[in-house]
Amino acid sequence: MSEAILEQPIATDLVVLHLRPALEMTDEQFFLLCQQNRDLRLERTAQGDLIVMPPTGWTTGSRNAEITRQFVNWAKADGMGVATDSSTGFTLPNGADRAPDAAWVRRERLAALTHEQKEKFLPFCPDFVIELRSPTDKLATVQAKMAEYIANGAELGWLLDPETRRVYVYRTDTSVEVVEQAEAISGAPLLAGFTLDLREIWQPNI
């Protein structure tokens, strides 16, 4: 009987399962798989590979919570879009299923979706994404995800690297900007009025 091939993790906390051609999983099947394994964060690449990510460590979880707190507070006050946390999945145009650490979608795009569509992974790429590099993430792996978001329609993306205190800024049709030792970063003009305070992310109060 054919079996999925287990690959050595691409980073210490990741496991990659090559499913094709042994198994072809539909979007509905992948969504149900995620619902049945809520203790794991699952993603799927454009090639159909399943990426299994266990829960984060305490420090990374605290940093993620701070990002979400700041971002959601701004989005609610601004009203032009909706912010989500790392548990929210998106099916990108290239077929990948991704769950960025934070994301933002304009309300007019959400208004075009049915109630049933909103109950599952949204069928497009967010307008804005944030990825937080954990201590076990390979930089090249997270950078590839950021490039994928931009290639699939994101207008702006931030990759936050607490180890080096660098922010990698991704924009449509521009080279990647690297911001060194920043204490804050602005999302303007796309996210007018939003500035992420990085001090508690670089040095969380834990």
> What digits encode the pLDDT tens for the residues 106-117?
999 999 999 999
pLDDT at 104 over 90: yes
> What digits encode the pLDDT tens for the residues 9-44?
334 457 888 988 888 888 999 899 989 988 788 989
For 174, which DSSP code? S
pLDDT at 4 over 50: no
54 or 168: which leads in pLDDT: 168
Residues 147 and 158: their CA atoms lie apart, in Å, by 11
Residue type for position 69:
R
Residues 69 and 67: their CA atoms lie apart, in Å, by 6
Residues 175 and 195: their CA atoms lie apart, in Å, by 21
Closest CA to 143 of 174, 176, 184: 176
Q: What is the pLDDT of residue 206?
A: 67
Verify cis geometry, omega within 30 degrees of 0, for the bond prior to 204.
no
- Quick check: pTM over 0.85? yes
Share of the chain above pLDDT 90, in %: 72
* Residue 13 C-beta-side C-alpha neighbours within 13 Å: 15
